[in-house]
Every structure is written in structure tokens, then in C-alpha cells.
Structure 1
């Protein structure tokens, strides 16, 4: 099953070189970094906290890249995303190196060897890794196609999905006049606008297949991918082409609810709790005013806004239960949400805000919420 990472336990390091002393300039790379950082932090993708996205632009030397990589690898426990855009080179040992501003093609020590990056991933605390390489010959990171299976596997890291912009013998493309490179531009468009008819979550396998079709149709270099240990099921965004454009009129019990509600079992941090809580309303297709009306007056629009923009867990459960019920989340999933809230309350104590919920009180609260909602809908002729 596809799953979005918990943003509170995930990190992204975006590396790019747009200016070179001895190689062709790549001004689009600077735009890549800005746009991708904004997307990963914004509502269209993972909603990573800004402090969890590190941009390393035009690093003067390998050390400038390795230090933030090590820090992110140590901090991430869910997902670590590493992106590089710039020139890719092949060193005398037939391995991929990532060019930096002062790189000299005949001096490998002036570039960043991909294997150094890979070694950091091997020591990472994250359960999953995503490596996105937008550079020439980036397919080398997957291993030579004519190499033995054992040698090719050495290029991968367990729990990793590696997506390369081009094959091992092909250059990548930065179309003149375009704001982004070909690969990253297509990736940004996919995550921002979704895939019509695609699955609710845009996992890496889906993204890869869509990028292949899109870029091949444009006669651009075709991306390559390697997956280890179900890394392909990790999603980078919801499919915005499939989200409801109008309020959802689903009424509990009338038909199966197949909406792609966030999975409470994937929540590990307080940040992840509120990120997913905000996503609930987006998936419902309801405005804050409509959620308030459907709550039978239990929560105002101001309360909804404060709830999804909090940084500490609420001390009581009733407001969150009313919000989830008004958005249309099924009862069994609301129980799972309550379990996630309880687990986080145990592990991350927060200031009390008007009293704590009583053990087992979630069922009573939920019944009250459902009764009030049912009464309201009956009164309005639903």
C-alpha cells in the first residue's frame, strides 16, 4: 500500500550547481532548487517543515555537501530525500561524479563522488531513502546494465528508490529558455497537478512510469529507476487531479467510502498529526465554513483554523473528533486517529488545555458527535 511519509520525521537535502568555472552554465538548476524546496514544504506535496528542507546551492567543495547530508541522515527516521541537479561526469573508474562549481573534469577530487553520498545513506537512521539525480549519466548510480547482478546491486541502498534523469550513457537535458531542466520540470508538474486517472497517492513507481511516458513523448532523455524493499510504494504527493473540486456529499452508510483519507497508522510525530489533519479537509472537498456547519455548531471556522495550525497536541479529544466526523471520516478511522493522538500524548507531553480526556471516552465523544450530526442532517431534510 502506498504511504506518505511523516513530515516531522523526514528530511530533504537539495543540492544543485548552476554556476561553473570550467563547465557549461546551468541557470535552470537554481530555479529547480527554489521550486522543489517550495513544493516539498507546501500543501501540494509533503508539507515538510521549512527547517527540514536544506538547500545546498553551488557548494564550493564536497565538504559543504557532506555535512548537511550527514545531519539530515542522522535526524530523519522516516524518509530521507536527496536531490542533485547539475553536470554529471564519469571518473576514470567508470563511476558517477557530481560536478561542483570548481570541478575540473580531469581532477576527481574537485567533484562529489556519488559513492560518497551512497555511504551516508547506508548509515542513515531513516527507514526509507529517495535519491533523485538530474544530471548526465545519472543512470550510472543504478549500476552498469552489462555488469553482473551483484555489482549492479552494490549501487543501491536498502530501502531506497533511486530515480535518475538519464541512462548511464546518456546526457540529461536543460532546454534553452525553459525555467527548469527537462526532468525536474516534468517532476514538478506531476507533483503539482497530479495524474488524471491515476491512484490517490502518487507513489514513486507511479511517478516514474508517468515521467517515462511524458519525457519519451517529448523526445527527451528517458529516466531510469531502481527500487529496493518496496521503496516504490513511498508517495511524494496526493494526486491532485483526483481530489474533489466541490464539497463531497457522501453520507455515511449510503455507499462505500473510497476517498483516500490519510492513514493514522503512518503518523509518528506531532507535525505529522497536524499535517494529515489539514489534509482531511482537503480530501473531503469541504471549506472550513462547510465543516463548521456540518459539525452542528460544535466547532467554528476559527476553531478549525487553530486546530490544523497548532504545534502542540490538544489536551482533549472532542474538538478533533468533531472535526473529523464533520469532514466525513468513517468511524473506524476516527478511532484510529484517537489511538494516534493517545500515543503521541504519551510520548510527547504537552501543556494541558482545559482537562484531559478520560480513558475510553473517545467512543462516547464520537457517539455524541454522530448523534448531533445526524439530528442536524434530519432537520435539514437529508
Structure 2
């Protein structure tokens, strides 16, 4: 199966954590977990989610606060929904996992957020095609039992699948070393997304991350994470493998064959936000600087600032040639450029007329007037010059 990066415009993340407890041991590293993971998910090193698509719920005063945040995200996500929890995990008399909140008391089940409540919201109320649950807490492996029970969350995923990643086995405690900036599990996850996995795949999907985290944490003598996925949940990627991208931008044609590079797939783009994020990622994968793209465009792109405007939206271009020149200069083949044109045409047709009147005609020179979307696709061979691809 092919790994896929979620469309940031159609995805949501809810990060929940408890660092301060009234009756349990304090976990100050959890606060750092939330800040770092939220920043990563919003940034170019991971999914580039819009800020408003990442909800952080730190030290929630009650279960309702958490459930409201998850419900809101479940209603807004149509691609991927990520739910993360860090804090103490407790086991009740029925052998079920509970997530500890600031007021939680051991032995008082009414003070704990049952994991099953979150599971039921995802199962019964979520519009997302894919669900990713990451639990960094003691005994988090017990949630895997709920994943495999019938009817389980993963088995009920509408289209693609679901994946649950737990920091520890069902009988093990998670590790939060005193004085460390992050908890052990989240620290390893952040490091993998930030620096990549040498020799790993181009996209850091959950299967690759899980294998890497098991090896890394086991080698350090830390609790070994557990995971379970269904359908294609394991193929959901949380970022590109930074270790396999060019170490620094180059000004000439990349050495690797263009066909071998992990280009973003425009067929997975559903929103304008996803379109621009993926378009910007094309240059990153190519290894070219903005100026190099200009040089390789054979005069069809005037400056690096034009490249910057092209990939930063927020309104779709009213004409296609500049985008085609950009993609060809980055090294894409004609057939791949046609897929991008299909995505552009589809998104343009879905835009309300009022939204389509923005100042986005980067190459049309027609101000705010918007021509009809092209019905015919032109061959791109005229854009090419021998030795530039």
C-alpha cells in the first residue's frame, strides 16, 4: 500500500495532556510535549496543519472539556483526525484504561476520563476517513484491546483505516524521566519527525514510525510501544523523512532521477490549503532553491518572489501556465503535471463565485478578472528545454 500525507485543510488534531495533578505525581514534561507536538504538526516538518486545526487541551478541568474538543474536531475533519493524550493512565476494576485529569484520584472512577468515551466519539460521530490515536500514558496498551474487540474502532473505519499507537504495553508503566524535557515516548516521536529516520521511507507513515520507536526505545531500556492498525491506517504519514531529503538546497538539477523522488500526490488533495501545502512540498522534494526554479523555468517565471506567491496562496491562481512552469522546473514529468492541473481545475470548480474573484492571476496579467477554467489541457513539451529535466 502507498503511504499518504493527510490533506491539512481537511484534517484536525486534538492534543490533550495533564501535567499538574492534585492527587497524583506531577508530570511537568507533559506541558512541553503538548507545545512541541502542536508546533510540529503546524509546521513544515510535519503536516503543516493550519493553527486553527490543532486544538491543545492542557490540564482540562473536567471530562466535558476534553469531549467537547474531540467532538468539535471529529465534526470538522473529513480526511484525518489525530487524538493525542499524555499523562497518567489508570486501570479500573473492569480492567479498562482511564486517562487521568488534574482532579483524578486513584480508586475514584468518577474522576477519570474513560478511554472508551473517546473511542465511541471517533466510532459514532467522526466524519474523518482515518483516525490516529496516540496515547503516552501508563498501561496505554490496554486500549489495543478495545481496538480489536467487536465492533472495534479500526474495523468500523468508513474508508481508509485507523491506527492506535500506545507508549507502553498493557501491563507496563510509561516513562517520564525526572528532569527530562519530554516524556520518553514523545521525545522519540518528536525526534523522528524533526530529524527523520536514516534509511527509512520517504514518508514517515505510522508503520515506519512504530518500528523506529520500538527499536529506539528498546535500545535505551525504555518501555516498548505497542500498536494496532486496520485497513490502511498504518499508511497514514505524519511527515516527510527529513533524513532522506536533500541536506541543503541545490542550484542545479538534482542528481536523483526525477521519477524516483517522492513527489506529493495531487490526487489526495481535497482543499485549497492542501493544494498549496503540497505545491510548496514539490520544491522541497526537488532540492532546488527558489532562484534555481526561476533559472530552470526558461524565463516563464520572473522571480523568486513569484515562486513564493505561487505556493503560499491563499487563493488559487486564475490561470495555469505559471504553475505548470514551476512544476516542470522542479522536475515533474508531463503526466504528473497533468494530474496537478486536474486538481487545480477541480478545486477551482468547487470555489464559490465570490471567492474566485481574488487577486490570484499570477500569470494572466488580468487583475481581478477570472477567466473560465480551461477545459482543454495543453501539452507541456513546449515548456521544456533539453538538459533541464
TM-score range, shorter chain: over 0.9
**Aligned residue in 2 for 1:19:** 20
Q: Which residue of the other structure, out of 325, 342, 346, is the alignment partner of 1:343?
A: 346
* Cα distance in structure 2, aligned partners of 1:333 and 1:150: 39
* Cα distance in structure 1, aligned partners of 2:171 and 2:5: 33
* Cα distance in structure 1, aligned partners of 2:72 and 2:211: 32
Please state how far the C-alpha of 1:228 moved relative to its aligned partner: 1.1
C-alpha root-mean-square deviation of aligned residues, in Å? 1.9
* Cα distance in structure 2, aligned partners of 1:197 and 1:182: 23
Please state how far the C-alpha of 1:308 moved relative to its aligned partner: 1.0
**Aligned residue in 1 for 2:137:** 135
Please state how far the C-alpha of 1:298 moved relative to its aligned partner: 1.7
SS where residue 143 of structure 1 aligns?
helix
Please state how far the C-alpha of 1:292 moved relative to its aligned partner: 0.8
* Cα distance in structure 2, aligned partners of 1:143 and 1:155: 11
* Cα distance in structure 1, aligned partners of 2:257 and 2:225: 41
**Aligned residue in 2 for 1:316:** 319
* Cα distance in structure 2, aligned partners of 1:150 and 1:76: 24
1:176-255 matched pairs, under 5 angstroms: 176-245=178-247, 246-247=249-250, 249-250=253-254
1:45-64 matched pairs, under 5 angstroms: 45-64=46-65
**Aligned residue in 2 for 1:363:** 378
SS where residue 138 of structure 2 aligns?
coil
| Change beyond 3 A, Cα 1:155–1:105 | farther
> Residue 295 in 1 paired to residue 297 in 2?
yes
Q: Unpaired runs of 5+ in structure 1?
A: none
* Cα distance in structure 2, aligned partners of 1:216 and 1:306: 46
Residue deviations 1:54-99 (CA, integer Å, cap 9, x gap)? 0000000000101111010000000000000000000111100000
**Aligned residue in 2 for 1:95:** 96
Please state how far the C-alpha of 1:363 moved relative to its aligned partner: 1.6
Q: Is the 8 A contact 1:61 1:111 kept in 2?
A: no
* TM-score, structure 1 as length reference: 0.92
* Cα distance in structure 2, aligned partners of 1:189 and 1:297: 41
Please state how far the C-alpha of 1:43 moved relative to its aligned partner: 0.4
| Change beyond 3 A, Cα 1:11–1:150 | closer
* Cα distance in structure 2, aligned partners of 1:229 and 1:155: 11
Q: Is the 8 A contact 1:295 1:323 kept in 2?
A: yes
Please state how far the C-alpha of 1:271 moved relative to its aligned partner: 0.2
SS where residue 362 of structure 1 aligns?
coil
SS where residue 363 of structure 1 aligns?
coil
Q: Is the 8 A contact 2:177 2:183 kept in 1?
A: yes
* Cα distance in structure 1, aligned partners of 2:253 and 2:259: 11
Q: Is the 8 A contact 1:137 1:170 kept in 2?
A: yes
| Change beyond 3 A, Cα 1:323–1:150 | closer
Please state how far the C-alpha of 1:359 moved relative to its aligned partner: 3.3
Please state how far the C-alpha of 1:255 moved relative to its aligned partner: 5.1
| Change beyond 3 A, Cα 1:186–1:328 | same
Q: Unpaired runs of 5+ in structure 2?
A: none
Q: Which residue of the other structure, out of 280, 283, 288, is the alignment partner of 2:282?
A: 280
Please state how far the C-alpha of 1:169 moved relative to its aligned partner: 0.5
| Change beyond 3 A, Cα 1:163–1:195 | same
> Residue 175 in 1 paired to residue 190 in 2?
no
* Cα distance in structure 1, aligned partners of 2:346 and 2:323: 15
SS where residue 161 of structure 1 aligns?
strand
**Aligned residue in 2 for 1:328:** 331
Please state how far the C-alpha of 1:249 moved relative to its aligned partner: 2.4
* Cα distance in structure 2, aligned partners of 1:183 and 1:255: 36
**Aligned residue in 1 for 2:113:** 112
* Cα distance in structure 1, aligned partners of 2:21 and 2:108: 15
* TM-score, structure 2 as length reference: 0.90
| Change beyond 3 A, Cα 1:358–1:150 | closer
**Aligned residue in 2 for 1:41:** 42
1:156-171 matched pairs, under 5 angstroms: 156=154, 158=157, 159-171=161-173
Q: Is the 8 A contact 1:143 1:152 kept in 2?
A: no
